[in-house]
Structure 1
Amino acid sequence: MWQPDRPFNELPDPPIDQLETKAVLKATIEARTALASLDQAIRRIPNPAVLVSALPLLEAKASSEIENIVTTTDELFRLASDTEEQASPETKETLRYRFALFAGLRSLQNRPLTSSTAMEVCSRIKAREMRVRDLSGTYIGNPATKIARYTPPEGRSIIEQKLSSWEKFIHGNPDLDPLVIMAAAHYQFEAIHPFADGNGRTGRILNILLLTERGLLREPVLYLSRHIIRNKDEYYERLLSVTRDDDWEGWLLFMLEGVRSTSFETLRIIDEIQSLQLTMREELRDTTSAGANADLLDLLFEQPYCRISIVMERCGVSRPTASKWLRELGDAGKLRDLRVGRERLFINHRFLEVLSA
């Protein structure tokens, strides 16, 4: 019998035969259709690095914001390719989220998604080695009143046993749709709450890794945390409702709607990015001595805070030439010129506006 203030050591596995209800199957078809459209759009893009550079940063920002780690899109992109100490602690931690996502993707090349993957991801997020917790007193609730809404399983051996069940659920149910597995496994992981910190962000990265592992997503560009941050209260209430009321259907429908809606929103972002790329290609030709330089165009989207030194390296040109190209775009109002200390940055502000709309 679950009680909010007692460790839920009897946490059950997802009820396999109860997950794919009629409503869930209908929502799964709609989510799969939207996700397939997104994946096809990614395959058509000549340079997917533009999306792979940008969208995981937005996912990192939203996922971190769910945990009240707040930074700005502007600061994230300005420091994304830098390790400057001037970054705020919140920005550094958010940037580590993207680093953890890509570390997780690399790990899938050598081994399937397991609890070891989760440990690696969480360790990257927290910048220290994270192991299964062996602490008592962990609970989810109001830290001021110390009233628990939920208390996860306690004891390392029990948590490791629950993680083993989580792995078996992910890989041992080929008849379940991967989207249903992703959503149910996300609840299961969050209910286990295996680490002392970073569980929410780790679990949301695992969602993307699972979809990638199953071949539903070519690149990690699903902006799923946008749905969660917009519906943060419902997200936590739906998680609790599974534990309290066994309401798997409500939880699965919430997550499937997130996949469907954010797939279409990401498609809109892709369309707007491609439209802006076409516009800027014409602007390069008409307003600069660079002409329609493809390397320069790609760079302005891969790194919207562009440095002269990066243009020199990427385009194989001298410093005077790189400086001239960027200055011409700045003078024409196509890029925004910004000085940070002794450094000069040229900002693709229209691209950032598309991303943050």
Structure 2
Amino acid sequence: MKDFNRNEPYNDLPLLPPKAALETTKVLRKTIEASRALAKLNGMLINLPNPTLFLDTIHLQEAKASSEIENIITTNDELYKAIVADKKFDNPSTKEVISYKEALWQGLEAIDKKPFITTNLCIEIVQSIKKNTAGIRTTPGTSLKNPQGVTIYTPPTGEAVIREKLANLEKFVNEKDAIDPLIKMAIMPYQFEAIHPFTDGNGRTGRILLLLYLKIENLLDIPALYLSEYIIKNKTSYYSKLRHVTEKDAWEEWILYMLEMISFTANKGLNLLNQVNGFMQTFTDEVKETLPKVYSKDLIEILFKLPYTKRQYLIDAGLGTPKTVGNYLNELESAGYLTSEKVGKEKLYLNYGLMEILEKS
């Protein structure tokens, strides 16, 4: 057992790399499995006719699940409506989820310009999630408690200490060395959660960093991975393994958990993409046959970008005048491909087949 007191600030949080054996036989086997699963997903994504087509949907699903881990709950239906409708939704949970998705996109743009994980990038991400000017935590007294109100961990305190730990994490993640990138990827969220650099938004920031890191390391060219659902389904295990690293130096079980998350999620993502792609092909063939004057490749792509769409999206894509595109959508609804709903002053059209696949996933 490590010399650790959960009620005192953990300013002695060990720096990276860990002193424990990382590349055990079990870990190396799991790393190969996770790497293959990612490669399959990556291959499927880059071979899609439009690889970025489903990104908005996947990122919103990830944002919804990542926020759910922090008990910020919304529904798929409310979330997609809020994105598409001009009407502003009052649900603070929906707003937080949309902010998470915006933070992920902001992070992707940042690493395109500078492909490194940095303290400044972490601050930019958390500010985007929280929509405030939050910086490194400076107020003492932060502690993490379980539902019964018992302290389970007290993170380091003092801005200088926190920045020192973050600088070490930054160096570890960006340094080119012999440690497999997937093992580094597994270590990164533990260390970030343990440092706990922000008053709020640490978990969500850490999960965005995972997606960005996979892209930086060319393990996933298009970061279409829906990681957080696995944590929700294995939440008890997630938190107990985090604690075991802190209290017992149990790195192997934590790394195996994270690698299993990557394998499971990549395989599930592959299955989801296959389902959506198959449905899109069937949908396309049927619309071509039954409504040849309505059909266009651009129109189908708009209907599959998000489950809901509206006339303005078709107008913006140059598919016709307001009257023409309105007729297209009405014909698609009459033929049973879409259903419509009034939201505020707007009429939204739902691709209910796509929504059904997402709800089941």
Q: TM-score range by the shorter chain?
A: over 0.9
Name 1:119's counterpart in structure 2: 123
Identify the residue that residue 5 of structure 1 maps to in structure 2.
7
Partner of 2:245: 242
| Alignment partner of 1:259 is 2:268 | no
Residue identity in the other structure for 1:10: D
- Indicate the residue corresponding to 1:137 in structure 2: 141
What pairs with 1:94-243 in structure 2 (closer than 5 Å)? 94-111=97-114, 112-142=116-146, 145=149, 147-243=150-246
Distance, in Å, in 1 between the alignment partners of 2:224 and 2:159 is 34
The answer to whether the 8 Å contact 1:284/1:293 transfers is no
Q: Would the aligned equivalents of 2:54 and 2:306 in 1 still touch at CA under 8 Å?
A: no
Q: Against the structure 1 CA distance between its residues 256 and 347, is the aligned structure 2 distance closer, same or farther, given a 3 Å change threshold?
A: same
Deviation at 1:16, TM superposition (A): 5.5
Name the amino acid aligned to 2:12: E
Partner Cα distance (1:341, 1:93) in 2: 21
Conserved 8 A contact 1:287-1:328 = no
Return closer, same or farther for 1:82/1:337 CA change in 2, 3 Å cut-off: closer
User: What is the match of residue 15 of structure 1?
Assistant: 18
SS of 1:344's partner is: strand
Percent of aligned pairs with the same amino acid: 40
Instruction: Pick from 89, 93, 96 the counterpart of residue 90 of structure 1.
Output: 93
Map Cα deviations across residues 240-289 of structure 1 (whole Å, 9 max, x no partner): 11001110000000000000000000000100111111111122212325
Structure 2 gap ranges (5+): none
| Partners of 1:116 and 1:342 in 2: CA distance | 41
Secondary structure, counterpart of 2:78 in structure 1? helix
- Maintained 8 Å contact 1:34/1:263: yes
Instruction: For residue 80 of structure 1, give the secondary structure of its aligned residue in structure 2.
Output: helix
Task: Compute the displacement of 1:356 (Å).
Answer: 2.0
Deviation at 1:318, TM superposition (A): 1.5
1:313 is aligned to 316
Instruction: Kindly state the Cα deviation for residue 174 of structure 1 after the two structures are TM-superposed.
Output: 2.1
Q: Is the 8 A contact 2:20 2:251 kept in 1?
A: no
Kindly provide the amino acid, as one letter, of the partner of residue 117 in structure 2: L
Q: Select between 256-265 and 285-294 the one with higher mean Cα deviation.
A: 285-294
Find the aligned partners of 1:83 and 1:116 in 2 and give their Cα distance. Answer: 32
Q: Partner of 1:292 in structure 2?
A: 295
Which of 325, 339, 343 is residue 340 of structure 1 equivalent to?
A: 343
Deviations 1:111-158 (A, max 9, x none): 22111111000000000112111111101113763x210000000000
State which drifts further: 289-298 or 101-110: 289-298
Which is further off, 24-33 or 324-333?
324-333
Q: Distance in 1 between matches of 2:280 and 2:192?
A: 40
- Give the secondary structure class of the aligned counterpart of 2:236: helix
User: Which amino acid in structure 2 is aligned with residue 65 of structure 1?
Assistant: E
TM-score (ref. length: structure 1): 0.96
Q: CA deviation at 1:354?
A: 1.1
Question: 8 Å contact 2:96–2:129 — kept in the other structure?
Answer: yes
Asked if structure 1 preserves the Cα contact closer than 8 Å seen for 2:307 and 2:350, the reply is: yes
CA deviations on 1:307-355 (whole Å, 9 max, x unpaired) are 1122122143022221111111111221111112332111011111112
More displaced stretch, 244-253 vs 83-92: 83-92
Displacement after TM superposition at 1:109 (Å): 2.1
Q: 1:20 to 1:83 in 2, by over 3 A?
A: farther
C-alpha displacement of 1:165: 0.8
Q: CA 1:198 to 1:79, structure 2 compared with 1: closer, same or farther past 3 Å?
A: same
Q: 2:37 aligns with which of 28, 34, 37?
A: 34
Inter-CA distance 76–290: structure 2 relative to 1 (3 Å threshold): farther
